[in-house]
Amino acid sequence: MLDLSKANTSWENWKKYLGQAMEFAEELGISRDKIQQYAVTAGSILADNVQPANPEQKALKELWEVADRDEQEVIARLMTKLAGRSR
């Protein structure tokens, strides 16, 4: 089970949390492409509704807000890639 309390503490913990979420999704049989599609949706929800907890999240939110849809998809793919390395 994922521990949401650690998702917003530090950049390293946040990446680890994202990696755990990806691992959980993969265990459920969700493809990497589908995970990346969900990451775009999650990115929009987070950017609109969640205050960044650290400078890295703030920078990511600002990039997300100025990006067009194609660029947001690239950011989402990069974040899933980064999170996959943090497991």
Residue 5 has pLDDT above 70, yes or no: no
Query: Which domain range does residue 82 map to?
Result: 31-86
Instruction: Read off the pLDDT of residues 25-77 as tens digits, 9 standing for 90 and up.
Output: 999 999 988 998 999 998 898 889 888 888 999 999 999 999 999 999 999 99
* Closest C-alpha to 86, from 37, 14, 38, 5: 14
In a domain, 48, yes or no: yes
In a domain, 55, yes or no: yes
In a domain, 81, yes or no: yes
Backbone angles phi, psi at 68, to 5 degrees: -85, 180
Q: What is the pTM of this model?
A: 0.79
Q: For residues 52, 22, 43 and 57, what is the CA-based torsion angle, rounded to 10 degrees?
A: 20
In a domain, 21, yes or no: no
> Which regions of 5-67 does DSSP assign to beta strands (E)?
none
In a domain, 13, yes or no: no
Domain count, the chain: 1
CB 35 within 8 Å of CB 25: yes
In a domain, 68, yes or no: yes
